[in-house]
Structure 1
Amino acid sequence: MKKISRLLTSSLLVLSLAVGCSNNGSKSTDNPNDKASTASTNESASVLVGIKGPVLSLDPANYRDRLTESVLRNVFDGLVTVDEKGVIKPAIAESWENTTPTEWVFKLRKDVKFHDGTALKAEDVKFTFDRILKENGIDGKTSPRKGLLEGVKEVQVVDDYTVKFVLNNPWPILLTMLPLQQIIPKAYAEKVGDKGLAEKPVGAGPFKLVKAKMDERIEMARFDDYYGGAPKIKNLAFDVIPEASSRIGALKAGEVQRIHDLSPSLSKTLMADPEIDVKTVEGTRVYMLQMNVQKAPFDNVKVRQAMNHAVNMDAIIDKILNNYATRLAGPMLSNAFALDTSLKPYEYSPEKAKQLLAEAGYPKGFPVVIDSDANNKEVAEAVAAQLRDSGIEASTRVWDVGVLKPMLLKGERQMFMGDWGNSTLDPFDFLNPNFITKDRANYSQYSNPRVDELLKQGATEIDAEKRKAIYKEAQQLIYKDAPWVFGFSKKEIEAGVKKLQGWSPTPDGSLYMSKASVSK
């Protein structure tokens, strides 16, 4: 706590630049309590947000990490944004048209400025996307975000305020993927180079970066010339506080004004505090147990189905997650596009599990190690206890996720308790990486040629009803093959001091602060 207070006192002295108000889709404008409290605000207020981990990069094209994106969305804007209901909204682009099945034309606003004062034009948009699409385009390496633009062939400049996206094939989710790409200034990036951009980025968002130590603190100040209107707070900082209990302590002590990633049990300690608001929203992250289907015993579908019957996911949601979660019948979120609602969760039945294990040749069960990261440790341990009730010798092991993931991709682990985000709510950026043979998140080593075929078809089918049919067939096959013990999605739980208004958790966990204000 003393460290946080000391940092707060010293750092806020240097936060003194400019302001803006974002089109980033914060729920706060729909909160009547927030509206009622904006009559008298402190326009020179400084706000600190406690976050659970470091920001991985300040270059908006050089990471694939939700927390990093949650912070940087305050500095950068994209062509479009998305509201809390998943509706695409204008941002830097004021309008767009799908002129042919493989071409989209975007008209840019003419009042957008970067933080260095230069006007944002079509050349900046093209430069931004060229860096992402080009192999080895960022300091000799390929952008980790290239996979989010799989359908894009190139971006062309039509005139100063018009760009054209040319696709490899019809790609129905272009608009859905564009909020994930943030625009940077071409002239500045070419002047300072990739390293300079990563050290001191310039965006067109509501806040401009002041300085950053990514494993400790990111400091920002408002941008007065923001096209969306000036934010009502002068200074903004994100403090890295890894332990949830420490984040809570900092909030209660007034050392930070907002914190995120609260567990249901810890959030209860804040609900009785009259000076603190606890807010929740349905999340967009799927939690599951992935089984390595290429190695015994999980190369047998009956064993995998038995595992689903052996885990009482409803009890885990009730007892561990305090019902701040939604049970999922299959692999997809309950509000995702093309969800097959005919699928029902596997019934919890240790007897059925034992029967299937006996049929598969494992009447006495087998040993299994469930690997997880620290965030999923508690659920993994509960699953292991339930599996032991079905005669399976289950134990758990906790890893640093950076060490674990390469082993998962190589098929060196048995079973993994993990999670994967689906902020677009579209199957493309969830089912494809998790279930296409050898794709980037296929830790179960799952391979079904028909599923591969369907998921690739769904990526280019422009008829919505046909897309739904394609994805429903894929879900049915995955459900039957059971490469996962299908799990749940959790609510996003955050907390803030009562005086902080105009904020709300978002389904994708973004920490938007452009509409925040501090009451006097």
Structure 2
Amino acid sequence: MNLRSAAYQATRRAGHVAIAVATLMGAATATASAQEGKTLRFAFQGTLNALDPYTLNETFTLGMLGNVYEGLTKRDKDLKIIPGLAERWEMLDPLHWRFHLRKDVKFANGNAFTADDVLFSADRIRADGSDLKTRIPADSEWIKVDDHTVDVKLKTPNPILFAEWDTFYIMDKEWAEKEGALKPVSAKDANPSPSAYRSNGTGPFTIESHEPGVKTIFKVNEGWWDKPEHNLAGVVFTPIAADGTRVAALLSGDVDLIEPVPVQDVERVKSDPNTDALVGPELRVMHLGFNQIRDELPTSDVKGKNPFRDPNVRKAFFQAIDIEAIKKRVMRGMSTPSALLIAEQLYERSGDFKRAPYDAEAAKKLLTDAGYPDGFTIGMDCPNDRYVNDEAICQAVVSMLAKIGVKVNLNAVPKAQYFAKVLAPGGYDTDFFLLGWTPSSLDSWNVLTSLATCRDEKGKGGPFNLGGYCNKKVDELAAQILVETDLAKRNDLIHQAYQILIDETSHIPLHQPSLAWGKRKNLDITQRADDQVLFYWARLN
């Protein structure tokens, strides 16, 4: 395709999107006119798929569903834990917690919220198919004291028991039974039941209609128990994958809010008299991972063995990556290189660790010492609509590894296809991959247990340890970290675990991207560092 025809096709696609957005805006205006309020029009680069709150442990999906569902706890604008559906709680002893539930709370369909819903949700989130099993201890016992009191009994102490419960969304037991939604919808399920696309929460919004990949219309839950801070009648969410089209929709006024703003367009959005960019630090860390569990890698030309089982190979890949070049050329300065798999703000001793230096010659020597003087071929999986400049980051990595003789065949696909592949049934189907991680507890235990504890080929163990890295000492440390209540001792244990990951090059931490949301100037909305887009803090003036 020549440049002229390429430009024509791009313009034609943009026109189709603009027409679709205009159509949606007309529908949204009609919805808003029926209520006193305004309709927020929001566009994100990726799609909202299943509405089951336990399907996908992903920030965007959890944020969208956090407008509809609620947990026993919440987090405020500064990410501090505050009461949610539980108005208060107490630790009766180190193994016994009691949660006092709010009374007179109803689900959107009018069903009363009670302890039965909490017990049902605690069982459901731990069931097969759930992507959020680590939200609560697998062996915890949940007991109904009365309709508005729940006890949780533990086998071992857990000082961060409820740190992740703002996204442990409570479901309506009666509704789930009626809808045939007793079991979680798996992210790996290519043909989920119709209940996957319906919702019923206690939150400030309900979902009026949902067409995955096309649009989702939220409306205000008039029966919400809390006092609204927003002034909206509803929200129309439209996925717009193309960066240029998404920015154009904001600048033209077709949408009020977009995420992300491509790093190259931040100043353009800021300079427009009608728009602005919200830019701030993000708690996500991007990293690369290796398949270390298989005896032979399906996408490699190395036969009979797995080169990624050799720490010299993993370190060679690390030292071949020029993180400063990625920061300057790909991220346009909007990233902070990371030495750890956790954001530096979330671990007070993160300054003790430094990245291995970029050194292509040292990387070549490491490959030679490992028996690969001419490099080898490997496949790489990468989303192209999930993270800021995700595909561009992967392309940069491909180019850098080529300089040390490694040929990378890049498979960059939309996030729905990406997650379906890397979390595929019967084993995690990826040899080399890009992933971003924000610990839902804002704590190192979540990082370690999710990304670095051992798992088997069927996925039992670290749920997002896609590459199957395994060191039993890290598992032991993670278990100790979970129960240690002395902060200094706990930080020492965390330090030991991170040191092992660095020494063995378990993964390659890349950077913390900067958040970049684009908005119309008549919109006020809170941007939290966890990157959840929460409509209940939005006001259109």
The TM-score range, normalised by the shorter chain, is: 0.7 to 0.9
Residue 263 of structure 1 corresponds to which residue in structure 2? 262
Within the candidate set 156, 161, 165, 2:148 is matched to 161
Within the candidate set 69, 86, 95, 2:79 is matched to 86
Deviation at 1:63, TM superposition (A): 3.6
Deviation at 1:161, TM superposition (A): 2.4
1:389–1:197 distance in 2 versus 1, CA, 3 Å: closer
1:351–1:201 distance in 2 versus 1, CA, 3 Å: closer
Task: Specify the SS of the correspondent of 1:379.
Answer: helix
The one-character-per-residue Cα deviations of 1:269-300 (angstroms, maximum 9, x if unpaired) are 31211111210232232212212345543322
Deviation at 1:312, TM superposition (A): 1.0
What are the ranges of 5 or more consecutive residues in structure 2 without an aligned counterpart?
1-17, 182-192, 294-304, 456-461
1:408–1:344 distance in 2 versus 1, CA, 3 Å: farther
Describe how 1:59-98 pairs up with structure 2 within 5 A.
59-98=52-91
Residue 397 of structure 2 corresponds to which residue in structure 1? 383
Within the candidate set 486, 499, 502, 1:463 is matched to 486
Q: Which moved more, 1:395-404 or 1:163-172?
A: 395-404
2:130 maps to a residue whose letter is S
Using the alignment, how far apart are the partners of 1:486 and 1:420 within structure 2?
10
Using the alignment, how far apart are the partners of 1:206 and 1:414 within structure 2?
42
Residue 190 of structure 2 corresponds to which residue in structure 1? none
Using the alignment, how far apart are the partners of 2:382 and 2:540 within structure 1?
39
Residue 8 of structure 2 corresponds to which residue in structure 1? none
Using the alignment, how far apart are the partners of 1:340 and 1:14 within structure 2?
49
Using the alignment, how far apart are the partners of 1:443 and 1:189 within structure 2?
31
Residue 494 of structure 1 corresponds to which residue in structure 2? 517
TM-score by length of 1: 0.86
Within the candidate set 20, 28, 45, 1:3 is matched to 20
Using the alignment, how far apart are the partners of 1:415 and 1:189 within structure 2?
38
Using the alignment, how far apart are the partners of 1:51 and 1:119 within structure 2?
33
2:337 maps to a residue whose letter is R
- Is 2:381 aligned against 1:371? yes
- Is 2:217 aligned against 1:219? yes
- Is 2:502 aligned against 1:515? no
1:479 maps to a residue whose letter is I
Describe how 1:288-299 pairs up with structure 2 within 5 A.
288-293=287-292, 295-299=305-309
Using the alignment, how far apart are the partners of 2:54 and 2:431 within structure 1?
33
1:433–1:423 distance in 2 versus 1, CA, 3 Å: closer
- Is 2:360 aligned against 1:350? yes
| Conserved 8 A contact 2:203-2:224 | yes
Using the alignment, how far apart are the partners of 2:391 and 2:539 within structure 1?
36
Using the alignment, how far apart are the partners of 1:507 and 1:496 within structure 2?
17
- Is 2:107 aligned against 1:114? yes
Deviation at 1:408, TM superposition (A): 11
Using the alignment, how far apart are the partners of 2:144 and 2:34 within structure 1?
33
Deviation at 1:448, TM superposition (A): 1.4
1:417–1:54 distance in 2 versus 1, CA, 3 Å: closer
2:465 maps to a residue whose letter is N
- Is 2:443 aligned against 1:426? yes
Deviation at 1:401, TM superposition (A): 0.7
Deviation at 1:16, TM superposition (A): 7.1
| Conserved 8 A contact 1:423-1:507 | no
Residue 203 of structure 2 corresponds to which residue in structure 1? 205
Describe how 1:7-406 pairs up with structure 2 within 5 A.
7-14=24-31, 44-133=37-126, 135=127, 142-151=129-138, 153-194=140-181, 198-230=196-228, 231-293=230-292, 295-337=305-347, 339-375=349-385, 376-399=390-413, 400-402=417-419, 404-406=421-423
The one-character-per-residue Cα deviations of 1:386-439 (angstroms, maximum 9, x if unpaired) are 233334445534344145415798476542233233232212322222222223
Using the alignment, how far apart are the partners of 2:437 and 2:56 within structure 1?
15
Using the alignment, how far apart are the partners of 2:265 and 2:399 within structure 1?
23
- Is 2:443 aligned against 1:450? no
1:460–1:409 distance in 2 versus 1, CA, 3 Å: farther
Residue 21 of structure 1 corresponds to which residue in structure 2? none
Q: Which moved more, 1:398-407 or 1:342-351?
A: 398-407
1:322–1:158 distance in 2 versus 1, CA, 3 Å: same
Task: Specify the SS of the correspondent of 2:82.
Answer: strand
Using the alignment, how far apart are the partners of 1:397 and 1:433 within structure 2?
24
Residue 504 of structure 2 corresponds to which residue in structure 1? 481
The one-character-per-residue Cα deviations of 1:352-393 (angstroms, maximum 9, x if unpaired) are 223333433344444444432324221122122223333444
| Conserved 8 A contact 2:526-2:538 | no
Q: Which moved more, 1:69-78 or 1:258-267?
A: 258-267
Matched-pair identity in %: 27
| Conserved 8 A contact 1:337-1:425 | no
Deviation at 1:61, TM superposition (A): 3.4
1:196–1:154 distance in 2 versus 1, CA, 3 Å: farther
The one-character-per-residue Cα deviations of 1:116-172 (angstroms, maximum 9, x if unpaired) are 344433333223323323x4xxxxx54332232235523222223222122232222
Deviation at 1:108, TM superposition (A): 2.2
Using the alignment, how far apart are the partners of 1:517 and 1:240 within structure 2?
21
With a CA cutoff of 8 Å and minimum separation of 6, indicate the structure with the bigger relative contact order: 1
Deviation at 1:499, TM superposition (A): 0.9
Using the alignment, how far apart are the partners of 1:188 and 1:93 within structure 2?
20
Residue 36 of structure 1 corresponds to which residue in structure 2? none
1:366–1:153 distance in 2 versus 1, CA, 3 Å: same
Deviation at 1:481, TM superposition (A): 0.3
| Conserved 8 A contact 2:78-2:528 | no
Task: Specify the SS of the correspondent of 2:527.
Answer: coil
Q: Which moved more, 1:508-517 or 1:221-230?
A: 221-230
The one-character-per-residue Cα deviations of 1:82-117 (angstroms, maximum 9, x if unpaired) are 134432111222211111112211122334333234
The one-character-per-residue Cα deviations of 1:219-248 (angstroms, maximum 9, x if unpaired) are 122233423213311122212222232222
Residue 504 of structure 1 corresponds to which residue in structure 2? 526
Using the alignment, how far apart are the partners of 1:91 and 1:316 within structure 2?
40
Q: Which moved more, 1:227-236 or 1:334-343?
A: 334-343
The one-character-per-residue Cα deviations of 1:22-70 (angstroms, maximum 9, x if unpaired) are xxxxxxxxxxxxxxxxxxxxx5211111122332222323443332222
RMSD between aligned residues: 2.7
Using the alignment, how far apart are the partners of 1:90 and 1:322 within structure 2?
39
